[in-house]
């Protein structure tokens, strides 16, 4: 699935129109796609032809709504369309379809100052409402009278199908600065909008359905269009793409063939993080996992992961790694294909010193998670030649960049870009709609997963899964600057898919990181099939 920012979509629209594609043709195709989606939604619920209320703004989004109203009426639905503007204020193409709808006898009316209470009553009487108020170009909180109209739709409580993006939701950031529509489905025109897939309020988009409205692929590849977003291309993978990124396994392979992972992790009270990461790396299919943990937690981790080689390291008074553990870590890492550092490591001076010594000695592929992200500087990572992956959530990325978590969540794509540019690493910004960015400019938004993944240890599982996949590619000589970010994106997809499979069996509330590891097997089996 192609994913774009609102800015990029408007640039692609302009490129296509300047090349001779009529704006009215784009609007006609968009409106018909919205109408088809509304008809399908009603049919699946046994309500077709049903009653439909279409609420339109004065821009091209409103024109799309007018075309949808006309099509639905022609197909037999009982349609009312309300335009929240004077007809003279409509965009030129929208004005054309206003006239066409009126000429066809469609029930359309202009309400420049709509009565919110009356509109809410009309919405309550409808089987479905089409939101065609605001498009991708609107930033910030909606202003009157649109603000009141959105409030009326929310108060009505009827299912809403949004045109391109729910009104009030920022198409780039997925943030609602004020009133915003909560849709059951959004019909994305041409390409999915990033703000409908990630960001603090992206859930308001509901299910996102992409409609081809005739914009050619060349529009998105035009130089002036590519320049509108920090990453290009941005894509959302499905099972086929994630499976295609996985390292191939030879039938004659052995544990050395499938890679070695070394994990530097753990402290007193956080032994589970090291164990979960090790178990996930093994589930990913790597041949051998070695773990170095402080001596007090060594027997715990060894018992939890009998398949791994678990080594004790000197501990400080807090139960974390002592500074001299860095030498032992460097020696063990010398025989590894990939190193994972950070899960449950702690941030005591001993752990910080051990990690710094280790990083100065080890130059191979590196996955940094959790506490390791608080103990490194992004600029220092740019000097590394081997691939590096960072797996922060918003709080960890905020510390890395000197921002607040709120600033990161306010524009996740911008924060991701800053992190990739600062570190030269492949970075996944975890959260609902996780974003993965590559140093070569590509990015992925993830569509798998659910709120059951908001549980302690889930991040350790992702880090271990990533290290396990990287190790298999590295052992085969295939872990380069292009392949490494793809495998990170595949790990994010599989991690979310395992969470979906676990939630289907156990429910989201009951999902734990241990169950997530167990369901990695089913997710990987789907990919292998």
Helix (H, G, I), strand (E, B) or coil at 382: coil
pTM, rounded to two decimals? 0.95
Model confidence at 138: pLDDT above 90: no
Model confidence at 228: pLDDT above 90: yes
pLDDT confidence tier of residue 139, bands split at 50, 70 and 90: confident
CATH 3.40.50.10260 location in the chain: 2-229
Distance CA 336, CA 471 (A): 8
Query: What is the 3-class SS of 245-281, one letter each residue?
Result: HCCCCCCCCCCCCCCEEEEECCCCCCHHHHHHHHHHH
Residue written as token pair 């990987």: 524
Alpha helices by DSSP H, listed for 189-335, are 217-221, 223-226, 239-245, 271-283, 298-304, 325-333
Share of the chain above pLDDT 90, in %: 97
Pairing of strands 234-235, 2-4: antiparallel
327, 359, 323: which is closest to 341 by C-alpha?
A: 359
pLDDT confidence tier of residue 128, bands split at 50, 70 and 90: very high
Q: What is the CA radius of gyration of the chain?
A: 26
- Alpha carbon 340 to chain centroid, angstroms: 23
The stretch 77-85 carries a mean pLDDT of: 96
Query: What's the mean pLDDT when you consider all of the chain?
Result: 96
- CATH architecture observed for domain 2-229: 3-Layer(aba) Sandwich (3.40)
**For the ranges 58-62, 249-253, 396-400, 497-501, which has the lowest average pLDDT?**
249-253
pLDDT confidence tier of residue 447, bands split at 50, 70 and 90: very high
Question: What length does the chain have?
Answer: 529
* Residue 104: CA count within 13 A, CB half-sphere: 19
Model confidence at 473: pLDDT above 90: yes
Residue 130: beta bridge partners?
A: 54, 161
The angle subtended at Cα 26 by Cα 23 and Cα 31, nearest 5°, is 125
Model confidence at 391: pLDDT above 90: yes
Distance CA 236, CA 489 (A): 10
Model confidence at 409: pLDDT above 90: yes
CATH 3.40.1190.20 location in the chain: 254-528
Distance CA 512, CA 461 (A): 11
The stretch 509-529 carries a mean pLDDT of: 97
The stretch 406-428 carries a mean pLDDT of: 97
User: pLDDT for 189-210, tens place per residue?
Assistant: 999 999 999 999 999 999 999 9
Correct CATH for 254-528 of 3.40.1190.20, 3.40.50.2300, 3.30.70.580, 1.10.3720.10:
3.40.1190.20
Model confidence at 137: pLDDT above 90: no
CB 369 within 8 A of CB 338: no
């Amino acid at each position: 699935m192609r994913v774009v920012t609102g800015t990029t979509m408007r640039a692609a629209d302009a490129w296509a129109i300047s090349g001779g594609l009529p704006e009215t043709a784009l609007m006609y195709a968009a409106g018909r796609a919205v109408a088809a989606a509304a008809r399908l939604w009603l049919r699946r619920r046994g309500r077709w032809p049903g009653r439909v209320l279409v609420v339109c703004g004065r821009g091209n989004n409103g024109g799309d709504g007018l075309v949808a109203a006309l099509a639905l009426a022609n197909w037999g639905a009982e349609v009312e369309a309300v335009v929240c503007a004077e007809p003279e204020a409509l965009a030129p193409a929208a004005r054309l379809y206003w006239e066409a709808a009126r000429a066809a006898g469609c029930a359309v009316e202009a309400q420049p100052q709509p009565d919110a209470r009356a509109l809410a009553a009309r919405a309550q009487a409808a089987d479905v409402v089409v939101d065609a108020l605001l498009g991708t170009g609107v930033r910030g909180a909606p202003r009157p009278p649109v603000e009141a109209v959105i409030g009326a739709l929310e108060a009505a409580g009827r299912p809403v199908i949004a045109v391109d993006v729910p009104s009030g939701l920022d198409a780039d950031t997925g943030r609602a600065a004020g009133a915003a529509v909560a849709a059951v489905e959004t019909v994305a025109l041409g390409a999915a909008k990033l703000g409908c897939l990630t960001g603090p309020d992206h859930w308001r988009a509901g299910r996102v359905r992409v409609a081809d409205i005739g914009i050619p692929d060349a529009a998105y590849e035009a130089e002036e269009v590519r320049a509108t977003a920090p990453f290009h291309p941005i894509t959302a993978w499905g099972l086929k793409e994630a499976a295609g990124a996985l390292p191939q396994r030879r039938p004659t392979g052995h544990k050395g063939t499938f890679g070695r992972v070394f994990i530097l992790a753990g402290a007193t009270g956080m032994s589970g993080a090291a164990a979960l990461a090790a178990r996930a790396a093994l589930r990913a299919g790597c041949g051998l996992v070695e773990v170095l943990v402080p001596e007090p937690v060594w027997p715990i981790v060894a018992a939890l992961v009998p398949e791994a080689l678990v080594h004790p390291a000197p501990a400080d008074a807090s139960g974390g790694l002592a500074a001299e553990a860095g030498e032992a870590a460097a020696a063990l890492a010398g025989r590894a294909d990939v190193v994972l550092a950070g899960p449950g490591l702690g941030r005591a001076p001993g752990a910080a010193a051990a990690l710094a010594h280790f990083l100065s000695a080890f130059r191979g592929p590196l996955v940094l998670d959790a506490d390791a992200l608080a103990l490194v500087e992004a600029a220092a990572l740019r000097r590394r030649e081997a691939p590096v992956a960072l797996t922060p959530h918003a709080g960890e990325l905020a510390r890395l960049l000197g921002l607040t978590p709120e600033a990161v969540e306010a524009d996740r794509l911008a924060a991701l870009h800053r992190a990739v540019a600062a570190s030269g690493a492949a970075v996944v910004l975890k959260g609902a709609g996780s974003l993965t960015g590559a140093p070569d400019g590509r990015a992925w938004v993830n569509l798998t997963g659910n709120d059951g993944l908001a549980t302690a240890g889930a991040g350790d599982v992702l880090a271990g899964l990533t290290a396990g996949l990287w190790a298999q590619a590295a052992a085969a000589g295939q872990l380069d600057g292009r392949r490494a970010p793809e495998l990170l994106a595949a790990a994010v997809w599989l991690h979310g898919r395992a969470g979906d499979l676990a939630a289907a069996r156990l429910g989201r509330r009951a999902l734990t990181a241990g169950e997530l590891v167990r369901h990695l097997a089913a997710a990987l089996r789907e990919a292998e099939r």
